[in-house]
A and B are shown apart, each in its own frame.
Chain A
Amino acid sequence: MIDLEVISLGSAIAAIVVNIVAYFSRSLLEHRSARKKLESTQEEQFQIAMQSDSLETLGSYVDDSIGKFQLSEYSRNKTVRRRVDLFVSKLEEFLGSYEDIAPTPSPTPESEPPDSSGIFIYENPDADLRLVEDKLVNGQTWDALASLRRTIEVRLRKFAEMKGTLVSQKMSAGRIIQLLSRNKLLPSGIEQSLKYVVNVANRGIHGEDISDDVGLEAYGMAYKALAELELVEDH
């Protein structure tokens, strides 16, 4: 007959071994899971998300890729950490600093209220502005403001290049306006309008609720300012 003490000792040892095996199995499973999640955040998908002007694309990348990692994985796994930190800092750069979103008063005189009739009176907007218009019409205000800001940034870079002013890749639209203004390359009216539009766009992109009227006003101002900028380019 087997001694009871021996049985209980054997049970205790078996329990220890089972726990240790479970502990290390869990660590191994976690490591595999982290690798699998990393595959879903590959560089290509990351670049697609960061090139996007869509709130849904950026947000869903966070939810479906970055968001799945646990805090323990973020802390222990260098690759996970690097990917998350890179995305967060890119997002911070994209959304802009608090300085960029401090409200700027509209340069529109009170005698000219923004056109809220819903009818766009701007003729032949180019492809970029038409895209902004379509998004505004479809109620995608965030996406419209992101596209509008990118369009302004691209046009200002081109303008700066034409005028022989060096602009770094990391410079935001607001910084480019400041630089051009300092070098007295931007007429005051265009500067004020674009400053206001970029400010509205930054605030909207950062998450502030921008009404349709204000979005429309910003679009109209950008349309006019960019048309005037083209005239300045031609001279």
Chain B
Amino acid sequence: MIEITIRELINLVSSQVSSPEVRLEKVFEWAHSRRMALAKSILTASAAFFVSLAVAFLKGDTPAGVSTWWVVASLFGAVLFAVFGLALLVRAKQLHKSYIDAVSLLGSLQALAPFFARYREEIQQ
């Protein structure tokens, strides 16, 4: 989740740091990598659950004493894992749109950078 506020973006622009768009890109890259890593690990765990259950069912290898309820719960858990992992993948994809929107906003704010820098100077006085 990108938690940068518009105020922080304005601070970045008015601090006259070089290439703020490159720094913004880095932040989004990190967020995207984190989200993809989490989505992949959750989907892998879900797949592992499904595969284990499928193998057990096909082999007729259900352990004695394990009620049907636990098997259903395991299946349900695997489905939830899968749904959560897919939701994270969709959110990771949405980051692309957020990035484009953020860069577009950054461009507009850069034109106003001297104004914001002036305002910051005034309130610091």
Contact = CB atoms under 8 A, between A and B. Distances in A.
B22 interface: no
A215 to B, nearest CB: 14
Interface residues of A, number: 42
Interface string B1-31: 1111111011000000000000000000000
A9 B70 contact: yes
A75 B1 CA distance: 12
A162 interface: no
Interface of A: 3, 5-6, 9-10, 12-13, 16-17, 19-20, 23, 55-56, 58-59, 62-63, 66-72, 74-76, 81, 84-85, 88-89, 91-92, 95, 142, 205-209
26 contacts: A3-B63, A3-B65, A5-B63, A9-B70, A9-B73, A12-B77, A13-B73, A16-B77, A20-B83, A56-B122, A59-B116, A70-B5, A70-B6, A71-B5, A71-B9, A71-B105, A75-B97, A88-B105, A88-B108, A88-B112, A89-B108, A92-B108, A92-B111, A142-B122, A206-B114, A207-B116
Interface of B: 1-7, 9-10, 63, 65-66, 70, 73-74, 76-77, 80-81, 83-84, 87, 94, 97-98, 101-102, 105, 108-109, 111-119, 122-123
